[in-house]
Chains A and B, each alone.
Chain A
Amino acid sequence: MEISTTKQFDLHRRMVRIRLFEEAAGRLAEANRLPGFLHLYVGEEAVASGVCGALNDDDHITSTHRGHGHLVAKGGDFNRMMAELMGKATGYCKGKGGSMHISDTSLGMLGANGIVGAGSPIAVGAAFANRYRGRGQVAVAFFGDGSTNIGAFHEAANMACALHLPIVFACENNEYGEFTPRHKTMAITDIVDRAAGYGMPGVIVDGMDVIAVHEAAVEAVERARQGGGPSLIEAKTYRYYNHHGIQNLGLKYRPDEEVAAWKQRDPIFTFEDRMIENGVATREKVDEIWAELRQDIETAIQFADDSPYPTPDQIMVDVYTKSSTSDTTVGTKS
């Protein structure tokens, strides 16, 4: 598959945006400036970028607790993202969702999710609606290796295949669920083995190689769009930081050498080397991109800092949707 220069820069840009956003969020969390939980996507950038780079703006994705990367890759706005992480009124969820529920329905991003496995059935629903409307949109469910141990994943995979829906299951296999290694929680090595049980094709790709991910995604997305039904992509990848936040909590659950070995294969730096080697990019051009996007991050932090917190009268707002202008059944203040 020939990946155009424009596309290569596009994929690169998505990855760098994720990296910068996540590194900034990590620094802010360390400085105690972000409330709540923070699950960083650093190390896994090629997966969200490679897949979302194969999607149209009106395609849908569902995400996980590790969701910032998916939103950034789908075109998320730094300012509103950063404001949400800080719990500000100008954030994507007006401060009501935070990191774990960050979403932009206008970009087809149907939410990060605090419940492991919960995104996949929702993606099935989006895929159903997409086919129902007949506008050729597809849905992608992003999910972790650990989430394939929960019933919701299996019900979603089976239903998607039974109904032959336009959906792609995109697994980020980073070999851990929280602090427990994958091999302790399943008797198979490759998540892709599960695909056959539901009757869909599945492929393993190097999740540190954005081109490999992208090529697999283009094929799966096209299959879905053409009415060929679901597929599963297993991207072998790694999260650099702890399950939650940046610091190790003092307990070694994975060897330092393992982390170092994965970092050697960094999805962004290896791709930049390749682009330069192939004459697609120059070091200067790459540096320019980083500098430009760094500026965007600084702007976003400033925007979030300057934004107001939501006021207490907002607590009862948006629990329900009004069904008409005269609808008074939107909840009780009891």
Chain B
Amino acid sequence: MSDERKLSYGQAFNEAVSQMMEADPDVFCAGEDIGAFGGVFGTFLGLQAKFGEHRVVDTPISEQAIVGLGVGASVTGLRPIVDLMFMDFICVALDQIVNQAAKLKYMFGGEASLPMTITTAGGGGLSAAAQHSQSLEALLCHIPGLKVVMPSNPYDMKGLMISCIKDNNPTVMIKHKRLLGMSAVVPTEAYEIPLGKGNILRPGTDVTIVAYARMANEALIAAAELAKEGIECEIIDPRTLQPLDTDLIVDSAKKTNRVVVVHEAVRFGGLGGEIASQIQELAFDYLDAPVTRIGAPFSPVPFSPALEQHYIPDAKTILAGVREIMQRNVIRG
């Protein structure tokens, strides 16, 4: 019976944190409104009641000091989880993330470790406009020293969050706001999904779709539709973006000979460019068509739903991208 138990994506995050706090007294959480209120997205609900104010700390609105708290506490032996309410706010704390957290170990000649997790919520689709909707993962993936995780479903959320907490490096767990309510079976016991290991979300033979977070789910919808047309998509969800499971992606590319990479972030300078490069370097001779990149246009996220619905890629955009790459192959025959 207990295998059947379902949790939402948000609850899976909460359970991972709760179980790790039970297991390790060095784990604590700090962030804005996460204590008494349980976080604006409810992902920290009940944790302060369970573990007390000294382990689930309501902080001032001070993103730089929140991440700094994690840096200082981790380098002196604790295992902090520090929360930045919206991913857009990493910009306020970028020095602590990029110049401090990511680099101390290296700059100290290895004589430091920072087992800290930064948690945040990214992505659009809520008409939250340009400062509360961004997907800035490429920025973080560009920084040596950080690990970056973006789960697409509740099962992965729990396993990846536990791995982030247990990892001895600064990790960034990016929750997608539109997935918080997604529900699925999640084991009750604590389990880990290794960082850097991708997942074949759907096996297929004709074309590979590399997609993560909410876009992985959109790719599944598109794949179901394409299957009716006789196109079998293989969907690779890298789950961890840094380090990236290049082997899994490249192996799939070699098998299907066609790849579409999808993300919600703006296309230019997005992770899709990196993934496409890796594929052309490692599987050039196998490709029947150039790698297709699907992403948002090069503009800030617009507020109006009338614009945002066309701005963020979805199953329809992916369908069109796949149909096009298949057709191109036929023409090139």
Contacts and interface: CB of A to CB of B under 8 A. Distances in A.
Q: Which of A114, A186, A314, A332 gathers the greatest number of chain B CB atoms within 10 Å?
A: A114
A302 B306 CA distance: 19
A313 B126 CA distance: 20
A312 B310 contact: yes
Interface string A113-126: 11111000000000
A115 B131 contact: yes
Interface string A169-208: 0000000011110001110000000000000000000000
A152 B62 CA distance: 9
Contacts of A334: 267-268, 298
A291 interface: no
A97 B129 contact: yes
Nearest to B270: A334
Interface string A80-97: 000000011000010111
Nearest to A117: B61
Given A96-B307, A251-B38, A184 B58 contact: yes
A115 B88 contact: yes
Contacts of A56: none
Contacts of A236: none
Interface stretch (B29-37, B186-194, B243-251): B29-37
Contact of B61 (A37, A93, A147, A316): A147
Interface in A208-258: 251, 253
B181 interface: no
A319 B62 CA distance: 29
Given A114-B88, A151-B62, A315 B38 contact: no
A330 to B, nearest CB: 10
A189 to B, nearest CB: 15
- Majority DSSP secondary structure for residues of A touching B: loop
A95 B32 CA distance: 29
B299 interface: yes
Contacts of B158: none
Interface string A133-174: 000000000000011011110000000000000000000000
B299 A319 contact: yes
Interface residues of B, number: 40
A186 B60 contact: yes
B72 interface: no
Contacts of B131: 100-101, 113-115
Given A37-B128, A101-B129, A177 B61 contact: yes
Contacts of A98: 127, 129, 303-304
Nearest to A95: B304
A309 B299 contact: no
Interface in B160-196: none
Contacts of A115: 88-89, 91-92, 131
A310 B305 CA distance: 9
Contacts of B267: 334
B92 A93 contact: no
A178 B38 contact: no
Which of A100, A151, A315: most chain B Cβ within 10 A? A315
A82 B142 CA distance: 41
A122 B130 CA distance: 18
Interface in B90-115: 91-92
Contact of B130 (A101, A150, A186): A101
A97 B133 CA distance: 12
Contacts of B38: 251
Contacts of A87: 127, 303-307
Interface in A102-121: 113-117
A253 B300 CA distance: 34
B317 interface: no
A180 B33 contact: yes
B129 A114 contact: yes
A316 B37 contact: no
Contacts of B307: 87, 95-96, 309-310, 312, 314-315
A122 to B, nearest CB: 13
A87 B310 CA distance: 14
A83 B303 CA distance: 12
B88 A310 contact: no
Given A319-B299, A332-B298, A114 B305 contact: no
A114 B86 CA distance: 11
A117 B91 CA distance: 13
A98 B126 CA distance: 12
A114 B92 contact: no
Contacts of A316: 297-299
B40 interface: yes
A149 B61 contact: yes
29 contacts: A35-B304, A36-B126, A36-B127, A87-B127, A87-B303, A88-B304, A95-B303, A96-B129, A96-B130, A100-B128, A100-B303, A101-B129, A115-B88, A115-B89, A116-B61, A150-B61, A177-B32, A178-B40, A179-B36, A184-B58, A185-B61, A251-B37, A251-B38, A311-B306, A312-B307, A315-B310, A333-B297, A333-B298, A334-B267
Minimum-distance CB pairs A-B, first 5: A87-B304, A114-B131, A98-B303, A309-B306, A95-B304
Interface of B: 32-33, 35-38, 40, 58-65, 88-89, 91-92, 126-132, 267-268, 297-300, 302-307, 310-311
Given A96-B300, A96-B302, A96-B307, 6 more contacts: A114-B130, A116-B61, A149-B60, A151-B62, A186-B60, A310-B307
Interface of A: 35-37, 87-88, 93, 95-98, 100-101, 113-117, 146-147, 149-152, 177-180, 184-186, 251, 253, 309-312, 314-316, 319, 331-334
